[in-house]
Amino acid sequence: MNDRLTRFGWSALALARRVAAYGRRKAAGFGELWRHSLQFRVTVSTLAMSSAVVFVLGMVLQNQITERLVDTKERAAIAQLDVVVRTAESELVGDAGQDEALRNRLSNAIKKITSSSVATQGAESSAAGAFEPVLAAGDPAESSEHAISAGPYDKVPRGLRNFVENNSQAKQIHTVDGSTYLIVGAPVTTTTRPLQLYLLFPLATEQNTVATVQNTLIVGSFALLALLAGITNIVVRQVVNPVRRAAAVAERFAHGELDRRLEVDGEDDLAKLAVSYNEMAASIQRQIQQLEEFGQLQRRFTSDVSHELRTPLTTVRMAADVLHASREQFPAGLARSTELLVDELDRFETLLGDLLEISRLDAGVEELAAEVIDVRPIARRAVEQVSVLAGTAGSPVELDLPDEEVTAEVDARRVERILRNLLANAVDHGEGRPVRLRVAADDDAVAITVRDYGVGLRAGEAELVFNRFWRADPSRNRRTGGTGLGLAISQEDARLHGGALDAWGEPDRGSCFRLTLPRRAGEELTGSPLPLPPEDHTVSPAEEEPAEVALTIAQHEEVR
């Protein structure tokens, strides 16, 4: 028995949980529709307010009709009571007699009243309808079994008896055995013993009338609300549909279909809105075309200048190499100038190469030569290439590589260039502290982080580090002599892979750059195997937690 009760309890609990889950799903769906559909929101709001108005009006009408019916019934019942009192007084003139004789006389009077009521009632009293007469000579304090009465005396409430016993005319609506009566009473004083007369008027007709009115109001209210819902839906649709079409056109315009325009129908406010939107779209299209033309000219200029500068640069390089080879024969000052000339020519040559690379990336002519390879050797080569710079700066580079292979479909040259730029940047800003390169992977992506513990980044600078020629602190002494295009090119290389290059940093706590690449070309990134901010990032309780600032490829596209 206890097991059955336990199973029943668990079944009821499971059913309650399913019902609760279903209710939550429906509530969530309703909330989603409420937030996203103006037509649904306006229709529901109109129905809610209309329902409140219809309910109030229905209650007022029902109360007015009920009061009018009851008032009419009471006036007719009072008129009928006056007629019946006169009839009873004419029948009960004289001595009341003993109890049994009085009871017989009351019964005869009731019969006389019943038989003559229709013939004697007037036009006003006829509205009262049928009734049950009651004659009584008992004490109101006594029960109906001990009272001398004729008719259903037990249906008369005790409070009404008290009023009539005190020679007052009274009325009361009373329910007996499920039937509702309007009971009116008056004293009869023609006998030697005081009598009371009561008339019981059934209110079944009035109740049916009220029920009919109530049902009519309910049906009419639902019909009215349905009609209002339909009208509201149609009216709102006339406004919402053009707005939806405008939103669709605007969305396609935002995705690059600059020739999309709204249809202008009529001369109303929506038509004026469509005309204004079309004029705005045409103006934006012209400006975008002008910017594209300017960008093309700028890219062409950069590419042409870079190409044209290569010829004189080659000549200057040859002359500088001759001078540099003979620097030992020059005075000390001239020899130093020769070394500075060669260094600046190296930087100039690197700048020209970066300008050509960035112009090709901007033109979209670069292609990804991806192949499935192990990423760990790429990281080692990048570290080897900056080892001399790291040794000069006193910032050792620490490698944290997995023991197993980390294969991914990548362009090794571009990934190596990204890591080389990140490591050189970390060494340059590491303030002589160690730089850590870490590689991790999961089933979908490969992540590489370059962490330094130097000057870090101030608030908002993580959004700017990928801008071309941007420098965090122009007054700082730089060791690498970078061109200012390395991080911008690195981000474009990450974009070609379908990956993301993110940055994080805090003042005097260093910075961390994270490269995330999909393991298979063409797949979309859903996360990264390494966190950002890095795991060794700690915040003291007295400090405000800094927000992670990461510039993903999608955000970069919006900035561009």
Assess whether 344 and 376 both reside in one domain.
no
Name the helix (H) or strand (E) containing 293.
helix 269-325
Assess whether 190 and 303 both reside in one domain.
no
For residue 331, whether the previous peptide bond is cis, meaning omega lies within 30 degrees of 0, is no
CB atoms within 10 A of CB 170: 19
Domain boundary among 211, 235, 257: 257
Assess whether 33 and 144 both reside in one domain.
yes
SS3 for 507? coil
Assess whether 98 and 193 both reside in one domain.
yes
- In this prediction, residue 557 carries a pLDDT of 39
- In this prediction, residue 436 carries a pLDDT of 92
- In this prediction, residue 191 carries a pLDDT of 61
- Residue 59: domain span: 15-257
Assess whether 47 and 92 both reside in one domain.
yes
- In this prediction, residue 547 carries a pLDDT of 37
pLDDT in tens, 351-404: 777 667 766 666 665 677 788 999 999 999 989 988 888 888 888 888 889 988
Own/partner contacts of 492-497, CB < 8 Å, gap of 24 or more, are 492/358, 492/361, 492/366, 493/411, 493/414, 493/415, 493/417, 493/418, 494/418, 494/553, 495/553, 495/556, 496/361, 496/366, 496/368, 496/411, 496/414, 497/368, 497/370, 497/410, 497/411, 497/414, 497/415, 497/521
Q: Give the total number of structural domains in the chain.
A: 3
Domain-embedded: residue 3: no
Q: Where are the alpha helices (DSSP H) in 142-184?
A: 158-165
Assess whether 325 and 390 both reside in one domain.
no
Q: What share of the chain is helix, strand, coil (3-state, %, to 5)?
A: 60, 15, 30
How many CA atoms lie within 13 Å of 313's alpha carbon, on the beta-carbon side? 17
Residues of the chain with pLDDT under 50: 118-125, 475, 539-560
Domain-embedded: residue 468: yes
CATH code (residue 296): 1.10.287.130
Domain boundary among 257, 291, 319: 257
Assess whether 416 and 539 both reside in one domain.
yes
Assess whether 144 and 284 both reside in one domain.
no
Q: Look at phi and psi of residue 177 and say left if phi exceeds 0, alpha if psi is from -120 to 50, else beta.
A: left
**Close Cβ partners of 296 (under 8 Å, ≥ 6 residues apart):** none
Assess whether 200 and 253 both reside in one domain.
yes
Assess whether 282 and 244 both reside in one domain.
no
Domain boundary among 342, 361, 380: 361
What is the dihedral sign for C-alpha 24, 28, 31, 37?
negative
Assess whether 65 and 200 both reside in one domain.
yes
Strands (E), 177-324: 179-188, 195-202
CATH code (residue 464): 3.30.565.10
pLDDT in tens, 109-130: 777 777 665 444 444 445 567 8
Domain-embedded: residue 1: no
Name the helix (H) or strand (E) containing 315.
helix 269-325
- In this prediction, residue 272 carries a pLDDT of 83
Assess whether 308 and 396 both reside in one domain.
no
- In this prediction, residue 555 carries a pLDDT of 41
Question: Distance (Å, rounded) from C-alpha 417 to C-alpha 414?
Answer: 5
Question: Distance (Å, rounded) from C-alpha 519 to C-alpha 521?
Answer: 7
CB-CB contact of 228 with 46 (8 Å): yes
CB-CB contact of 61 with 154 (8 Å): no
* Cβ-count burial 227-237 (b if 16+ within 10 Å, e if not): ebeeebbeebe
Domain-embedded: residue 208: yes
